[in-house]
């Protein structure tokens, strides 16, 4: 009986072929094993003829075709049997949680695992879970390399200066952990940079499903703090207010609870798994959905989530939002949403967390019928006017330059918009042009 038999730990190959990359990855993702070259499927020794050439090909596979680099997990030896030379690869179980063939990446084609005597493709869910585990020892946003190297952080410096923080250019990158251990800009740096390759989609649909898009806006490709400012302004503009002036005091009723939606957006930004893709805000005719990727952070249960136990996936990003006064480390965000809308607004899976905020039916009805009641601040305004009004509600001291940056238009456009809002009776200026502030007239 032959001493060479294929098993869960042994792969026999009569000669070198390009499939060896796949077989190495499969062993790395399982419990390790051996690949013996020069033995056929029946266990008969046939030997390897071009030994040096084969060793060079194997070395190229190990160093160039597998990610992460598995050199430390693989040992190659020559073995002599029956007067012939065999090449044996001893493959240890990978020290990383997942490996892939570079040409396919972290996909089912690229990530295979040894099961029995065959290589099986891993499911998307298996890949995601293993990939996430790579970052439990250190925040993944600090490890992952940015998609571009030409990053600048002027807006970040301005935000910190406005909050009274002194930012030293020489130590800024180290203080904010903007580079990985190889000295490259990381994903966190890209999110905080003035310009980047990361979108942020705000999309409106004309019905209750995604059959028909009525509007699509991308507020991304810039500093995440500025993106948040733009989203807040857009949400304020979208939040229709119905005012009943037939009673005293006047009664205001809004399309949605702004504080609850704001907390949902903050959670999506801070807790999103940015290695998958960006969060998304979708507006339907009857609701708004805020989607973040990655499911719950590692170690957090659904009960923890509902109780508001703070367990950020991206702790450094959380610290920056804390410094800006945009969020608190108290975990009150989710309880705020639940108090207003209940637990049913959350849809939680291993892949994502979705918050579905229903619109006030009475506001929808009255705003559509326009029965003579005041339809709030947003009626008769264009998109830019609504955005400016939303920002001034949040901070009446904002000047034209800042408004232009937040919304993404020119200063001249903002100046014309402010004049238009004054003429429409939506705002008025209190104090001088230099030291005064805007008052929003509700």
Question: Which pLDDT band holds residue 3 (cuts at 50, 70, 90)?
Answer: confident
**Which range (68-72, 141-145, 436-440) has the least confidence?**
436-440
Instruction: Between 181 and 44, name the one with better pLDDT.
Output: 44
**What does the pLDDT read at residue 363?**
87
Buried b (16+ CB within 10 A) or exposed e, 391-403: bbbeeeebebebb
Each residue of 373-418: pLDDT tens digit? 334 455 567 878 888 887 887 677 788 888 888 888 888 898 899 9
Question: Mean pLDDT score of the chain, rounded to an integer?
Answer: 86
- Residue 171 has what pLDDT? 86
Residues paired with residue 241 on neighbouring β-strands, in sequence order: 254
Q: pTM for the complete prediction?
A: 0.57
pLDDT tens, residue by residue, 81-127: 999 999 999 999 988 889 999 999 888 999 999 999 999 999 988 88
In terms of residues, how long is the chain?
A: 442
Decide if pLDDT at 1 tops 90. no
Confidence band for 441, pLDDT divided at 50, 70 and 90: low
Q: Which tens digits make up the pLDDT trace of 422-435?
A: 888 788 777 666 66
CB 415 within 8 A of CB 401: no
Closest by Cα among 76, 84, 88, 74 to 32: 74
- pLDDT of 270-298, one tens digit each? 889 888 889 999 999 999 999 999 888 77
Q: What is the pLDDT of residue 328?
A: 61
Q: Which of 234, 240, 268 is nearest to 361 (CA)?
A: 240
């Amino acid at each position: 009986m032959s001493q060479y038999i294929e098993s869960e730990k042994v792969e026999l190959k009569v000669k070198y072929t390009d499939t060896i990359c796949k077989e190495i990855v499969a062993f790395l993702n399982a419990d390790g094993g051996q690949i013996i070259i020069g033995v056929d499927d029946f266990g008969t020794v046939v030997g390897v003829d071009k030994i040096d050439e084969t060793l060079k090909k194997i070395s190229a596979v190990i160093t160039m075709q597998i990610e992460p680099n598995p050199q430390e997990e693989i040992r190659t030896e020559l073995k002599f049997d029956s007067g012939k030379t065999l090449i044996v690869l001893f493959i240890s179980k990978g020290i990383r949680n997942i490996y892939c063939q570079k040409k396919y990446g972290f996909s089912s084609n690229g990530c295979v695992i040894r099961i029995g005597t065959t290589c099986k493709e891993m499911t998307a869910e298996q890949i995601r879970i293993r990939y996430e585990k790579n970052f439990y020892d250190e925040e993944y946003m600090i490890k992952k390399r940015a998609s571009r190297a030409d990053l600048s952080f002027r807006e970040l410096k301005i935000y910190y200066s406005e909050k009274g923080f002194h930012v030293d250019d020489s130590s800024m990158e180290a203080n904010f952990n903007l580079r990985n251990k190889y000295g490259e800009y990381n994903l966190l740096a890209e999110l905080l940079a003035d310009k980047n390759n990361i979108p942020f989609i705000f999309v409106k649909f004309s019905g209750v499903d995604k059959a028909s898009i009525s509007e699509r806006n991308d507020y991304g490709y810039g500093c995440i703090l500025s993106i948040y400012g733009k989203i807040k302004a857009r949400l304020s503009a979208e939040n229709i207010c119905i005012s009943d002036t037939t009673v005293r005091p006047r009664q205001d009723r809004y399309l949605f609870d702004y504080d609850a939606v704001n907390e949902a957006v903050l959670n999506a930004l801070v807790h999103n798994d940015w290695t998958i893709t960006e969060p998304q805000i979708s507006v339907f005719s009857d609701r708004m959905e805020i989607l973040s990727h990655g499911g719950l952070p590692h170690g957090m249960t659904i009960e923890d989530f509902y109780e508001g136990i703070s367990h950020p996936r991206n702790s450094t990003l959380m610290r920056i939002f804390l410094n800006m006064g945009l969020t608190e480390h108290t975990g009150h965000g989710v309880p705020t949403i639940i108090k207003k809308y209940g637990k049913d607004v959350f849809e939680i899976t291993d892949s994502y967390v979705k918050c579905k905020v229903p619109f006030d039916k009475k506001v929808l009805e009255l705003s559509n019928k326009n029965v003579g009641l005041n339809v709030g601040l947003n009626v008769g305004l264009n998109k830019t006017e609504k955005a400016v009004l939303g920002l001034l509600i949040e901070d009446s001291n904002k000047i034209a330059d800042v408004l232009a940056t937040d919304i993404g238009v020119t200063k001249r456009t903002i100046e014309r918009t402010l004049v238009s809002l004054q003429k429409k009776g939506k705002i008025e200026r209190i104090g001088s042009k230099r030291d005064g502030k805007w008052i929003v007239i509700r």
